[in-house]
Structure 1
Amino acid sequence: MQVVSISSLKGGVGKTSVTLGLASAALAAGIPTLVVDLDPHADATRGLGVDRGDQTDIGRLLKDSRRGDLTANTAPSGWAATAGRQGPALDVAVGSGTSATFDRPDLSTRDLKRLSTLLSRVDRYSLVLIDCPPSLNGLTRMAWSASNQVLLVAEPALFSVAGTERAMRALDVFRSEFAPGLRTAGIVANRVRPASNEHAFRLKEMRRMFGDLLLDPTIPEQANWQQIQGAAHSVHSWPGDAARQAAGYFDELLGNLFDSGRLRSRASRR
């Protein structure tokens, strides 16, 4: 099971949008996927069209991680129904403001293991995507403790690039202290405006600073992204050429991050 934290130390760069785009690509590829909405704002939960029902949210599960049953408290995404799809699961560990209890800088090592403990009893997914808060407080470090890889999201703009550099340094420190096996999956340049000279300059700067860690493809700014998310649809099910092109970017990004065929074949053996 691949567990990937989608992180940024700066808000407003489209971290949740990248999470949703990858989840949409995983659904289209037939990869059983769990999205853990660890951001107290719970935007991923809303964007995934979740009808929460009686599920216990991730914040309350973390409070009792030794006995919490994550498998029994996931909610199915509404995307499969809107797309008319049946098949491998796309489920959500429901986000809520209760998780903010853990979003502080002084978590103990024991607290950092809470999400790992919950995920250790989950085996029905090939891919877990964790949508982290835009900070380096307890929830992000808890997610990193539970992950195989960290994917950083940045906008090609001055403060976002500087924030990504800080995130890389923070990852190095965290890896040395808590998680020597944690890999940096790469950096996604998001909300790129191809006609912007500033964005072109910052992308060159990012190539120079981060080298091969800057992933292809970069994700262009999507004019109707808010409409798609507000309607709680996957980008793969939204009509129009722009959405179809955006879906292709996320298909390519998912394929570059992971061997999608291997994830599918692993699921079929269960």
Structure 2
Amino acid sequence: MQVVSISSLKGGVGKTSVTTGLASAALAAGIPTLVVDLDPHADASTALGVSPDEQLDIGRMLKAPRRAHLSDNVVPSGWVERVRTNGASPSGSAPSILDVAVGSAYTGIYDRPDLGRRDLRRLSAVLAGAEHYDLVLVDCPPSLNGLTRMAWSASDKVTLVAEPGLFSVAGTERTMRAIQLFRQEFAPKLSPAGIVANRVRSGSAEHTFRLAEMQSMFGELLLTPHIPEQANWQQIQGAAHSIHHWPGDSAKNTAALFDALLANLLKSNGSAPAGTVRDRSQR
């Protein structure tokens, strides 16, 4: 099982869109996957089409992690039923698994900068019951407070999401340094899986310049392919639909990019040295 945090310290870069795009690719590939919606806004839960009944949301599981019984409280994504209904799963194949630890505003009580080591291990304790998944994707809030640090403590890898713009690139540089410090103090086995360039506009000179800057700054940590700006992404998410099962060539092409991105993310060894990110003054 690989646990991957999807993070950004800057809001509005499409972090949840990348999380759900990767979840869609995992579902299409038949990889048993759990999405942990750790953002108090719970947008990933909405996009994944979950309909909780009596299950505990992730915030309440974190409150008593050793008694949480994760398998009793995850909710199947609505995407799974749609795949089965549409006959997208090969005949005779194992049932597709895409479950969600549902987000809620309740998690906000842990989004503080002063969590101690014991609190940072809460998500790790919850995920002790996730052994039958091959992949766990954790959608983090856009901050470096308790919830993100809790996610990093439980993760094998961190994937960062950035737009090719000045403020987003600068924020990604700061996040890389934060990961390096966090590894030293709390999670020596944590590794950066890479950086996803999202909402890329191919005709933008600014985006072309910033992508080249990101390549210079981050080297092999800048994952490929880049994800272009998707005009109908809000419509897809609003319909609680996976990108792989949305009609049209644009969605089909983007789905293929997420397939390749997921493959590159899973094979990345995250072994880049701590000095990979260079100061701007050194360039």
Q: Same fold by TM-score, threshold 0.5 exceeded? A: yes
Distance 2:218 2:133 in 1: 31
Task: Return the offset for 1:120.
Answer: 1.2
The residue aligned with 1:231 is 239
1:119-268 pair list within 5 angstroms: 119-259=127-267
CA-based RMSD of the aligned residues comes to 1.1
Distance 2:26 2:161 in 1: 18
User: Deviation per CA, 1:124-175, whole angstroms, max 9, x where unpaired?
Assistant: 1000000000000000000000000000000000000000000000000000
Distance 1:54 1:195 in 2: 48
Structure 1 runs (4+) greater than 6 angstroms displaced: none
3-state SS of paired residue (2:160): strand
Tell me, which stretches of 5 or more residues in structure 1 are unaligned?
261-270
The residue aligned with 1:73 is 73
The residue aligned with 2:274 is none
Distance 1:170 1:99 in 2: 22
Task: Return the offset for 1:82.
Answer: 2.0
Equivalent AA in structure 1 for residue 35 of structure 2: V
TM-score in terms of structure 2 length:
0.90
Equivalent AA in structure 2 for residue 224 of structure 1: N
The residue aligned with 1:268 is none
Task: Return the offset for 1:52.
Answer: 1.1
Distance 1:116 1:161 in 2: 30
The answer to whether the 8 A contact 2:6-2:159 is kept is yes
The residue aligned with 2:115 is 107
Task: Return the offset for 1:257.
Answer: 1.2
Task: Return the offset for 1:48.
Answer: 0.1
1:118 aligns with 2:132: no
User: Deviation per CA, 1:56-81, whole angstroms, max 9, x where unpaired?
Assistant: 00001101112111111000000022
Tell me the percent identity.
Answer: 69
1:15-30 pair list within 5 angstroms: 15-30=15-30
1:64 aligns with 2:64: yes
Distance 2:81 2:147 in 1: 31
Distance 2:168 2:70 in 1: 34
Distance 1:178 1:237 in 2: 40
User: Deviation per CA, 1:227-265, whole angstroms, max 9, x where unpaired?
Assistant: 0000000000000000000000000001111159xxxxx
TM-score in terms of structure 1 length:
0.95
User: Deviation per CA, 1:4-46, whole angstroms, max 9, x where unpaired?
Assistant: 0000000000000000000000000000000000000000000
Task: Return the offset for 1:122.
Answer: 2.1
Distance 2:194 2:261 in 1: 11
Equivalent AA in structure 2 for residue 44 of structure 1: A
